[in-house]
A and B are shown apart, each in its own frame.
Chain A
Amino acid sequence: MKYSIFNLVKNSLSYHQNWEKAWNSPDLKSEYDVVIVGGGGHGLGTAYYLAKEFGVKNIAVLEKGWIGGGNTGRNTTIIRSNYLWDESAALYNHAVNLWEGLSSELNFNVMFSQRGLYHLAHSIHDMQEISRRGYSNYLNGIDTEILNKDQVAKQIPHLNVNGRYPVHGALLQRRAGTARHDAVAWGYARAAESLGVDIIQNCEVKGINVSNGKVVGLETSKGSVKVDKVGLVPAGHSSVLANMAGFNLPINSVPLQALVSEPIKPILDCVIMSNSVHVYVSQSDKGELVVGAGSDSYNSYSQRGSFDMIEHMMAPLVELFPIFSRLKMLRSWGGIVDVTPDRSPIIGKTPVKDLFINCGWGTGGFKATPGSAHVFAETVFRGEPTDISGPFSLERHFSGALVDEAAAAAVAH
Chain B
Amino acid sequence: MFIIDCPYCGERDQTEFTCHGEAHIARPSNPNEVSDEEWGRYLFFRNNPKGIHFERWTHDHGCRRWFNVMRDTVSDKILKTYKMGESRPEVNE
**Nearest-CB distance from A260 to chain B (Å)?**
24
B36 at the interface (CB under 8 A from A): yes
Interface flags for A254-289 (1: CB within 8 Å of B; 0: not) read 000000000000000000000000000000000000
Interface residue A221 (Cβ < 8 Å from any Cβ of B): no
A249 contacts B45, CB within 8 Å?
Answer: yes
Bound CA span A213–B88, Å: 33
Given contacts A297-B19, A398-B40, A399-B36, A250 and B73 within 8 Å (CB-CB)? no
Interface size on B, residues (CB 8 A): 29
Please state if A298 and B74 are interface contacts (CB–CB under 8 Å).
no
Contact residue among B2, B45, B53 (Cβ-Cβ distance under 8 Å from A250):
B45
Partner of B19, one of A249, A298, A307: A298
- Say yes or no: is B47 at the interface (Cβ < 8 Å to chain A): yes
CB of B46 within 8 A of CB of A248, answer yes
Q: Are B45 and A397 in contact (CB under 8 A)?
A: yes
B50-A301 in contact (CB<8A): yes
Q: Distance (Å) between the CB of B70 and the closest chain A CB?
A: 12
Q: Which of A249, A296, A297 meets B48, CB within 8 Å?
A: A249
Docked-complex contact B40 and A237, CB < 8 angstroms: no
Tell me whether A302 and B48 are in contact in the complex, defined as CB-CB below 8 angstroms, given that A297-B18, A400-B36 are known contacts.
no
A interface with B by C-beta (< 8 Å): 237, 239-240, 248-253, 296-302, 304, 306-308, 341, 397-400
What are 20 of the A-B contact pairs (CB < 8 Å)? A239-B46, A250-B40, A298-B19, A298-B55, A298-B71, A298-B76, A299-B21, A299-B22, A299-B48, A299-B55, A299-B73, A300-B76, A301-B73, A302-B73, A306-B14, A306-B15, A308-B14, A397-B44, A398-B37, A398-B40
Closest 7 CB pairs of A and B: A298-B19, A250-B44, A239-B48, A398-B40, A297-B19, A308-B15, A397-B40
